[in-house]
Amino acid sequence: MKKILWWILFAVTMGAQAAAPDSATLTAPRLKPLTEQSQAARLAAELLTRYHYKPVPLDDAMSGKIFDRYLKSLDGEKYFFVQSDIDQLQAARTRLDDAIITENLSLPFAIFNLYTQRVVERFTYARSLLKEGFDFRQKESFRNEREKEAWPKSEQAMQELWRMRVKNDWLRLKLAGKDDKSIVETLDKRYENSVRRMARTKSEDAFQIFMNAYTMAIEPHTNYMGSRAVEEFDISMRLSLVGIGAVLAEKDDYTIIRELVPGGPAHLSEQLKAGDRIVGIAQGEKGVMTDILGWRLDDTVAQIRGSADSVVLLDILPVDAGPDGKHKVVSLTRKKISLEQQAAKKSVISVADGETIRRIGVISLPVFYEDFAARGKGDPDFKSATRDVARLLDELKAEKVDGVLIDLRNNGGGSLMEAVELSGLFIGKGPVVQQRDAQGRVTVAKAANAAVAWGGPLGVLINRGSASASEIFAAAIQDYGRGLLIGERSFGKGTVQTMVNLDQIAKNKTPAFGELKLTIAQFFRVNGGTTQLRGVEPEISFPSFADEDSSGESGFDNALPWAKIKAADYAPQGNPKARLPALQMRHETRVRTVEDFQFLKEDAAEVTRLRKKNAVSLNETERRKERDDLEAKLASREKTREAVKKPQPDVPGVAADPAKKVSTQDDGLQADERNLANELAAEKARKDAKDILLQEAAHILSDEVGLLKRETRVAARNRPAPPMVAAQKQRQEPAPAAVW
């Protein structure tokens, strides 16, 4: 009882202190926990302390870890709280466990409310700084990354920090050619929008951030998901939703149509276009229109999605109409929308090797998707990454490609079963991955009824963003010697999660508790090692822009350690490492003459240098010189590209179409501040630009194809012939085709 009274007193005290500075400027709501949230937190704690792969008791020690991670989640860059806030909040350090156990979340919500108040105060102060302007002749610098910095010791120190932050925002726009008036307008609106976003926070926001501070204090990949987060996760796995087929964005209190999905209801209606603003929504042909001006984007999306074949009415302010322009009402019937941009795709790259032209098939897989619900119901046509890749492999075989490159860059994982079954398309029925649960039991996963869909030369392209299921697949291909890994060291996530529906456990008839993504096992390669922390090392490495100290699994302070178990019973199918010295030499020789590859190496080194420097000058003369130097370097690169004679479109290093050039200069704007048409054009140009790393990976795989064919010819010449009929067989039969 004393603890509960202390929490209430603390929450009231925090609220009183929060209101003290200037109540006229405070617009953030005072959030309170809902009963179902407190119940969900306690239920989640019971599961986490009993069934997690690394169960940790919910005690004062864990409370301290939750406290630290909660503050980091709210204000990791130290822009909002001052040291006196932190000192005051320390009283809660050992109380958060009790808040969860006793189903009283007033304390974590009080911390969140103080945070939202501080955000409003800081951005309000930022707006006030715009009235005076800045002197850019001074020698000052601004630190970009502040995670490792100390909390500002006083309000005066905090104001000085924000003065430099706003000064940097102003200088970026000034260097981009904006005049003072437009700079003030842009920044004032930007900071005002930040205040508005705080004003729209809900208890679900506070609860989800707090719960993830708890779950991730145990281990980085255990997460809590509220109902909307669960819905987005399910959509990402099944690659479909029921809606109107429009990509929406938020800009100046409006919900705007950013893109139309080809073939979707919005596109087929021919009544909507990019830039149109949705200002009202009604359900059904006779529904009452609800004004959504100023709504959060997720609230708008929830109203537009619905059941298949139902009708939604949209009140539209056309893109070319002013704020007081004529509206129109558009009626749309919701349909199932396939998110094909996240599905596996194929392309073919032709690579020249002397007079020989080799065709390398590329399959890009953004995520290991699987419609869990449809598969569970026995739907024979459930969406599956493996099925799509198998179909694409059949198409590539029909196109007579010489090798296949699987592009898993920035593929963060997905379905474990899909990773196993996809591996089976290349290695057959052997074991793919081992799992060890919390009790130490090890199981081996194999692709059931696997049949090899591609037995030819294989490459896998990975980077630091390739994680989890991507690492399972890449590691299996590497351990079997089935293909060549190219790119960067992968993320290093070696844990397995399962989704736990808290409502099902609580037997709630109406969804209220959300779901827990719970780590239940660690996976190991068939060779016995794990990808945990160390990731998967490619045979041939590319330049990297990632900071391995802060990105990937090694960037977490509580990641599980690397470990090793007994190898599974598997038989390697090849040895690409035998050809590695020759492939490495050809790669290095080739890229020395490829200007864009060398430029990329220079840029990676420059990013590393700037990251270590972690500061930008606030002196206009110095910044202009840096900008001029960059422009001169880019101009020099363009001259180098133009000097290349007879450019070959499939050779890396050749410049993209000049009409599709992407500006590399900083415009000082945020995404929602840019002209939509220009933003979409720039985005398309980035997608269409030459992918230097993909092109070089195709060249490396082409080199391997050439070496393999040479080995086959040598083996055929040196093979002893059967007695008596050898001469006859050599005359009548050509050299045998390679067996992959």
Q: What is the pLDDT averaged over residues 369-390?
A: 95
DSSP bridge partners of 521: 437, 496
Instruction: Indicate whether 274 belongs to any domain.
Output: yes
Residue 655's closest CA among 647, 665, 646, 664?
Answer: 647
Mean pLDDT calculated for residue range 651-664 = 44
Residue tagged active-site, from 384, 415, 466, 468: 468
Q: Are residues 167 and 72 part of one domain?
A: yes
Helix (H, G, I), strand (E, B) or coil at 317: strand
Are 491 and 416 part of one and the same domain? yes
**Which residue in the block uniquely carries the two structure tokens 């109540």?**
23
**Helices and strands in the chain: count of H runs, count of E runs:** 23, 21
Of residues 85, 479, 596, 691, which has the active-site annotation? 479
pLDDT tens-place string over residues 49-100:
999 999 999 999 999 999 999 999 999 999 999 999 999 999 999 999 999 9
- Is residue 690 flagged as an active site residue? no
Residue 181 and residue 152 share a domain: yes
- C-alpha closest to that of 32 among 18, 12, 58, 46: 12
Average pLDDT over residues 142-156: 95
For residues 383 and 295, state if they share a domain: no
**In whole angstroms, what is the distance from residue 493 CA to residue 522 CA?**
9
Q: What is the pLDDT of residues 104-143, one digit of tens each?
A: 999 999 999 999 999 999 999 999 999 999 999 999 999 9
Whether 334 and 352 map to the same domain: the answer is: no
688: in domain: no
- CATH, residue 296: 2.30.42.10
In this prediction, residue 715 carries a pLDDT of: 60
Q: Give the C-alpha separation, 485 to 202, whole Å.
A: 45
Give me the pLDDT at residue 663, please: 59
Over residues 280-339, the pLDDT tens digits come to: 999 999 999 999 999 999 999 999 999 999 999 999 999 999 888 999 999 999 999 999
Which residue among 302, 317, 338 closes a domain? 338
Kindly state whether residues 555 and 447 are assigned to the same domain.
yes
* Long-range Cβ pairs for the range 372-378 (8 Å, 24+): 372/234, 372/237, 372/238, 372/415, 373/234, 373/238, 374/238
Is 206 inside a domain boundary? yes
Q: Which of 275, 310, 338 is the last residue of a domain?
A: 338
The β-bridge partners of 518 are 498
* pLDDT bucket at 716, cuts 50 / 70 / 90: low
Q: Is 154 a catalytic residue?
A: no
The residue among 218, 252, 283 that closes a domain is: 218
379 falls within a domain: yes
552 touches 558 (CB < 8 A): no
> 309 and 368, same structural domain?
no
Shared-domain flag, residues 385 and 297: no
Q: Are 371 and 429 in the same domain?
A: yes
Domain extent, residue 466, equals 341-574
Residue 665 pLDDT class (50, 70, 90 cuts): confident
Angle between helices 580-591 and 692-718 (to 10 degrees): 140
Identify whether the C-beta of residue 228 lies closer than 8 Å to the C-beta of residue 298.
Answer: yes
Same domain, 320 and 380: no
76 lies in a domain? yes
* pLDDT band with cut points at 50, 70 and 90 for residue 638: confident
Find the mean pLDDT for residues 349-369: 96
Number of domains in the chain: 3
- Residues 610, 142: Cα–Cα separation, whole Å: 13
User: Catalytic residue among 493, 503, 517, 596, which?
Assistant: 493
- Helix, strand or coil for residue 499? strand
pLDDT band at 27 (very low <50, low <70, confident <90, very high): confident
Phi, psi of 523, rounded to the nearest 5 degrees: -100, 150
Average pLDDT over residues 490-503: 97
Angle separating helix axes 620-642 and 595-613, nearest 10 degrees: 160
> Rg of the Cα trace of the chain?
29
At residue 624, the pLDDT reads 95
pLDDT at 737 over 70: no
CA distance 524 to 472: 8
User: Dihedrals φ, ψ of 597, to 5°?
Assistant: -70, -40
pLDDT of 172 strictly over 90: yes
Q: Check if 178 is active-site.
A: no
Structural domain contains residue 730: no
Are residues 284 and 424 located together in one domain of the fold?
Answer: no
- CATH number of the structural domain spanning residue 506: 3.90.226.10
Predicted local distance difference test score (pLDDT) of residue 395: 98
* Residue 387 placed within a domain: yes
Q: Write phi, then psi, for 449 (nearest 5 degrees).
A: 55, 30
pLDDT in the model for residue 652: 37
Task: Let me know whether 101 and 195 are in one domain.
Answer: yes
Q: How far is CA 158 from CA 6, 41, 583, in A?
A: 30, 34, 55
Residue 712 lies in a domain: no
